[in-house]
Structure 1
Amino acid sequence: MIGSKLAWDDTVLPFQLDASDVRGRVARLDGVLGGILKQHDYPPQVEALVAEMALLTALIGQTIKLRWKLSLQVQSKGAVRMIATDYYGPEKEGDPARIRAYASFDRDRLTDSAPFDQIGEGYFAILIDQGKGMQPYQGITPLAGGSLRACAEAYFAQSEQLPTRFSLSFGKSTEAGGVEHWRAGGVMIQVMPEAGEHVAGEGGTGEGGLLVASDLVEGDREEDWNRVNFHLDTVDDLELIGPSVAPTDLLVRLFHEEQPRVFGSQPVRFGCTCSEDRVRQSLSIYSAKDIEKMTTDDGQVTADCQFCGAHYVLDPKSVGFEAGTSDEG
């Protein structure tokens, strides 16, 4: 039972384990998930996948010094066709980061099986957009491992050659009074990039020959990595989600022998960047004839944001690259 919002809800806490050249993040999400999931009537299996993806996005996004946006995407041939999340870095020091997410799925194809079973063959991708004038980055790895967490670990091993591990927990909690809402918590650990000197050969020991973390560490580094993972294996769901254990206390409990050092926490919020101006911009590539085909019987052009559910109604004469032109004259 969770009676009130906690000080560390909707935050990401960076840390470093000085004794083992490992860095990490602890994340707790509460209102962020509420903002994301209340926009849609997702079935439970889809809700769980979106919650897991949002938690991964919070953990991964905070590791990157973003000028603008990091996106995670799953594209699949299964009942859940796509999951997309965006993490927008803080606009200035002290501002929260913003997260949004949505899923596209075929309701008739969903089964009673586990959430990841609703995803078929496909890929997991991370995209980094540092803004205007900067070259975007995209990394892709096949879906594998039986969870979105495992897909993210495979991505870092395969595309970045950085041993990475996630321990996640998410689900519905009940407040005093019987109100249910989603909460999530997780820990990410990763070998420090400057310590990642090992470059693996072709093929790995993971599913389908993918690289896994153990393929990328050897010698003392392997011993350190295995020891930190052993400690992380002792965490339980209540410690990850809260409410009784603060992230700093959790790090001391798990990693006190590894000399944990924490940095400033990053608040995160649900936030969408959609606007009428962006809708107009997206329609600016269409001719008046194309816009006419999009016009409803009521004489309007409408658009809905898949992330936040915002509904936009526009005058067809005001959109498209021929907007404002006249046949007269």
Structure 2
Amino acid sequence: MNIGSKIAWDDTVLPFQLDRTDTRGRIARLDGLLQQALSQHDYPTLIEALVAETTLLTALIGQTIKLRWKLSIQIRGDGPARLIATDYYGPTDAGAPARIRAYASFDKERLDTSADPFSQIGKGYFAILIDQGEGTIPYQGITPISGGSLSACAETYFAQSEQLPTRFALSFGQTQSPGEDLHWRAGGIMVQQMPKSSLSVADEGSGEDGLLTPADVLDGDDAENWNHVNVLLETAEDIELIGPTVQPTDLLVRLFHQDGPRVFDAQPIEFGCSCSADRVRQSLSIYSARDIAHMTTEEGIVTADCQFCGAHYEFDPKTLGFEADENDN
């Protein structure tokens, strides 16, 4: 594989379909995007791993939904890894890249850096939020933290909230190619079985704490096709998923050549943040002049920092809040 093909597939999501089994899927490769998202903060390696996994899930899931604005994933727990949050912004124009940003909050004193990263989340929930923008009602789906990994939580979410059998095969970690610095890469496959008919789904599933699993929402040929695809997916190796030495199209052929794989246009993705001075002003517009005074520094300004990208904003307090002097804006 030459360097040109490596660059072409990095930071992209490739949609595909398996015609014989009625399965749809995505392959994602993250390199510069992931490194840029992580470089905004000084996270311990354990937290970087959780952010890397969540960012990869966000890239795969975000591309499956027709977005006019934003999809978010939030993982909240009572452990030292308190919050992992990502946002996926759909492309604004045909051919334009989608944008992803990521952030983590953690308790450094409680963090066990020798433990499995997932164990540091504790009890909590995995949530997907979809906001199609002004004039729409945001959607939110929540499932408990379970299953031993964030990808398992996502699989449970789709079975529980969408009755859509979903499987992820992910790989992520720090890597170093000749002539490059040590940095994070991630890659993975997402597959979803498209049911041929509506099923009557029981209120309680066979999974942990009664949660639904793919087996609870499939039967007949659908179940047989799903099992077949999963057996093949389990043969994917880390180096094939993460790249860059194996092209996604070659991996599809290797895994699913008997199932009629078809690929569609790849979606480029990049690191990007939606913060702006106007958005900060809008978020502060619900406060009175008295409230704004409590936020004002000794230097006579109000400051705000973006948790995602680190952007720093400074404002004249007279221009903020619902009592702001419009002439000073």
Q: Is the pair's TM-score, using the shorter chain for normalization, greater than 0.5?
A: yes
Instruction: Quote the Cα distance in structure 2 between the aligned partners of 1:190 and 1:283.
Output: 41
Q: Secondary structure at the match of 1:87?
A: strand
Per the alignment, residue 176 of structure 2 pairs with: 174
Per the alignment, residue 157 of structure 1 pairs with: 159
Per the alignment, residue 325 of structure 2 pairs with: 324
Matches within 5 A, 1:55-204: 55-111=56-112, 112-177=114-179, 179-192=181-194, 195=196, 197-204=198-205
Matches within 5 A, 1:251-262: 251-262=252-263
Q: Secondary structure at the match of 2:147?
A: coil
Instruction: Quote the Cα distance in structure 2 between the aligned partners of 1:177 and 1:232.
Output: 32
Per the alignment, residue 275 of structure 1 pairs with: 276
Give the superposition deviation at 1:204.
1.3
Instruction: Quote the Cα distance in structure 1 between the aligned partners of 2:55 and 2:7.
Output: 19
Is the Cα contact below 8 Å between 1:12 and 1:58 reproduced in 2?
A: yes
Comparing 59-68 with 312-321, which one deviates more in the overlay? 312-321
Residue identity opposite 2:120 in structure 1:
Q
Give the superposition deviation at 1:198.
2.1
Query: How many residues were matched structurally?
Result: 324
Residue identity opposite 2:8 in structure 1:
A
Give the superposition deviation at 1:175.
3.0
Is the Cα contact below 8 Å between 1:3 and 1:175 reproduced in 2?
A: no
Give the superposition deviation at 1:61.
0.3
- Structure 1 pair 150–183 and aligned structure 2 pair: CA distance change class (3 A): same
Is the Cα contact below 8 Å between 1:70 and 1:126 reproduced in 2?
A: yes
Q: Secondary structure at the match of 2:239?
A: helix
Is the Cα contact below 8 Å between 2:319 and 2:326 reproduced in 1?
A: no
Listed as ranges, the gaps of 5+ residues in structure 1 are none
Residue identity opposite 1:116 in structure 2:
F
- Structure 1 pair 270–196 and aligned structure 2 pair: CA distance change class (3 A): farther
Matches within 5 A, 1:35-50: 35-50=36-51
Instruction: Quote the Cα distance in structure 2 between the aligned partners of 1:228 and 1:299.
Output: 62
Residue identity opposite 1:54 in structure 2:
T
Residue identity opposite 1:172 in structure 2:
Q
- Same amino acid, percent of matched pairs: 66
Q: Secondary structure at the match of 2:68?
A: coil
Per the alignment, residue 17 of structure 2 pairs with: 16
Give the superposition deviation at 1:77.
0.8
Is the Cα contact below 8 Å between 2:14 and 2:28 reproduced in 1?
A: yes
Is the Cα contact below 8 Å between 1:70 and 1:88 reproduced in 2?
A: yes
Q: Secondary structure at the match of 1:20?
A: coil
Per the alignment, residue 242 of structure 2 pairs with: 241
Instruction: Quote the Cα distance in structure 2 between the aligned partners of 1:233 and 1:52.
Output: 18
Q: Which runs of 4+ in 1 moved over 6 A?
A: none
Instruction: Quote the Cα distance in structure 2 between the aligned partners of 1:196 and 1:48.
Output: 38
Comparing 285-294 with 145-154, which one deviates more in the overlay? 285-294
Residue identity opposite 1:146 in structure 2:
G
Is the Cα contact below 8 Å between 1:161 and 1:199 reproduced in 2?
A: no
Provide the TM-score with structure 1 as the length reference.
0.96
Instruction: Quote the Cα distance in structure 1 between the aligned partners of 2:233 and 2:266.
Output: 20
Listed as ranges, the gaps of 5+ residues in structure 2 are none
Residue identity opposite 2:158 in structure 1:
F
- Structure 1 pair 79–3 and aligned structure 2 pair: CA distance change class (3 A): farther
Q: Deviations over 1:68-100 (max 9, x none)?
A: 110111111111111111100000100000001
Instruction: Quote the Cα distance in structure 2 between the aligned partners of 1:34 and 1:188.
Output: 22
Provide the TM-score with structure 2 as the length reference.
0.96
Give the superposition deviation at 1:3.
7.6
